[in-house]
Structure 1
C-alpha cells in the first residue's frame, strides 16, 4: 500500500488493529524504510535502534536474502510452488514478484494471522503474470493443518513446494514447538521440496540488548536463538551450500558481505 493507505483509527477496517501498541510487522516496515506504520511503531522501533542500530541493516538485508533465495529456488532448484508462512506487510520485491519474474507460472500462497496484513491482502494478491497464481491464507503458523488444507486449494502437494519461514518463528518461545511447526509442514510436502528459514540470533550482546529494549517498549518479545538451534529445525533435510550462515553471506552478491546477527539456510527434502 502507498503512503496514507493504512486504515485510520475508527474506520471499519481498523476494528482489530491496535494503533497505540507497537506492532511487529509495522515496526519491520518502519526499519525497512516503509510508510505503513504508526507513531507507536516508530517510537518502539527507534528505542530498539538506539541500542542496536544494526536492526535497520538486518531488516533490509532480510529482504535481499529473500530475493536471492527465491531466485535460486525458481531458477536453479526448479521450484514452481511457494508457501510463504508469516509473510508480513508487502514491500519491495515480494515472493510472488521474484518467483514469477523467473518462472511466470509460479504459484504462491502467503500465510499470516495478522489483521493488518489481511487489510493489505489485496496488494499481495496482485499477480505479476497471467500464468501464475497468488493467494492469501489467514491462519496462524501454530496450525499447520489449517494452512496446508487451505493452501491445497492453490498448491499441488504431490509436487515439490518451497516452504518459507522468513524471520517469524522468533515469536514462538519454545524451540520444540518451533521444531514441531517446521517438521509438520515439511512432512506434508513431497521429496524435492525445500525449506527456507532465517531468524535473529543471539550472536552478540548488542542484539540481545535490542531484544530486551523491544520488550520494554511494549512490543511482542522476540526470542533470539543460536545458529545451532535454528539448524536443528532442518533435521532430515539436505542443506544447500553454504548451509546455516549469516543471511548476508548466503550466496551474496557482494564478495565482502559482513556477518550480522541473523542466520538462515535453505535445505532440500530428500
Structure 2
C-alpha cells in the first residue's frame, strides 16, 4: 500500500513508529521515510541496535520453544509488532500444532499487516487491538477470553515493549494486573533495554525515540528484575539477550553490546 493510501486511512506516516523502526532494523519493508530517517540516525550513533534487534528476535524464538517443550499451549503476545519470520505461532506450532496465540497491539498498521498475514492461518491464532497501558481492557476483551482459557497456563510475552512504558504509566502495576489474571504454572517472557552499561549509547538512542510514537524509558537491571515480582526466574535468570539459553554463536563478542536484558519467569 502506498504512503498516500495509509495517510487517507488516518495513519500518521510522518512520525516514526517504534514498531516500524524495529521492522527496519530487522530488514523489513513495512516502514516509511520518516521511520528510515530516524532509524539511520539511531544506527549512526548506536550501530549495535540492528544486531540487538536480531538478538531480541532470536531470544523470543528460544523462549517460545522452551515454553512449548514445557507443555505451555497458550501464548498472549502483547506489543507484538509487525509480522516477520519466526512469528510466535509458527514457532510454537512446530512443537504443539494446536498451540493457541493471541497477538495484541494498538498500532493500526501492525494490526492490518497481522490480520492480512493470518487470514489463512488456523483458528488457533487471533489478532486483537489493545494497549498495554490499559491491561484491564486487554484482559476484559471478549476476543481474548474466547481464544484463551485462563484456567490453564498462559505464556505472557512482553518482548521489547516495556521500555516504551513510562514511569507515569506505572509499569509494575501493569504487569501485576496481567500476572494476577494468570493461573499457576503460567510464564512471563520479558526483554527490556537497560542503561546500566553503555550509557552514552543509551542517551543517544533515547533522544531520537523522543520524536517517535512512544518515548524510550531505559531502566536499571534492578528495576527490570522487579518487573518479575510474583514470578520465579528460570535459569539462567536475568541476563543479556545472547546469554539466555543460546543455541548458536552470539552475534556479539561482548553480550552487553546487545543493550537488552531478558528473562523468563514462572508463576508458582
Matching residue within 46, 49, 55 for 1:52: 46
1:10 and 1:110 map into 2 onto residues whose CA distance is: 27
1:145 and 1:217 map into 2 onto residues whose CA distance is: 28
Shift of 1:8: 2.0
Matching residue within 178, 187, 193 for 1:194: 187
Contact 1:62 1:247 in 2 (8 A): yes
Matching residue within 233, 254, 260 for 1:239: 233
Identify the residue that residue 97 of structure 2 maps to in structure 1: 104
For the structure 1 residues 157 and 213, does the alpha-carbon distance in structure 2 shift closer, same or farther, using more than 3 Å as the test? same
Stretches (4+) displaced over 6 A: none
Contact 1:215 1:221 in 2 (8 A): yes
Report whether the alignment pairs 1:155 with 2:148.
yes
Shift of 1:145: 1.9
Identify the residue that residue 225 of structure 1 maps to in structure 2: 219
Higher relative contact order (CA 8 A, sep 6+): 2
1:178 and 1:212 map into 2 onto residues whose CA distance is: 18
Contact 2:210 2:216 in 1 (8 A): no
Q: Which SS does the other structure have where 1:183 is aligned?
A: helix
Matching residue within 118, 121, 124 for 1:133: 124
2:205 and 2:169 map into 1 onto residues whose CA distance is: 21
User: Superposition RMSD on alpha carbons, in Å?
Assistant: 1.9
1:168 and 1:21 map into 2 onto residues whose CA distance is: 18
Instruction: Could you tell me which runs of 5 or more consecutive residues in structure 2 were left unpaired when the two chains were aligned.
Output: none
What TM-score, normalized by structure 1, do the two folds share? 0.90
The one-character-per-residue Cα deviations of 1:47-75 (angstroms, maximum 9, x if unpaired) are 00111000001111111000000000001
Q: Which SS does the other structure have where 2:115 is aligned?
A: helix
1:165 and 1:14 map into 2 onto residues whose CA distance is: 31
For the structure 1 residues 96 and 218, does the alpha-carbon distance in structure 2 shift closer, same or farther, using more than 3 Å as the test? closer
Report whether the alignment pairs 1:29 with 2:20.
no
Point out the structure with the larger helix share.
2
Identify the residue that residue 265 of structure 1 maps to in structure 2: 263
Matching residue within 133, 141, 151 for 1:142: 133
For the structure 1 residues 218 and 187, does the alpha-carbon distance in structure 2 shift closer, same or farther, using more than 3 Å as the test? closer
Q: Figure out how many residues of one structure are paired with residues of the other and give that number.
A: 261
2:26 and 2:249 map into 1 onto residues whose CA distance is: 23
**Matched ranges for 1:37-48 at <5 A:** 37-48=31-42
Matching residue within 242, 251, 256 for 2:245: 251
**Matched ranges for 1:10-25 at <5 A:** 10-11=4-5, 14-25=8-19
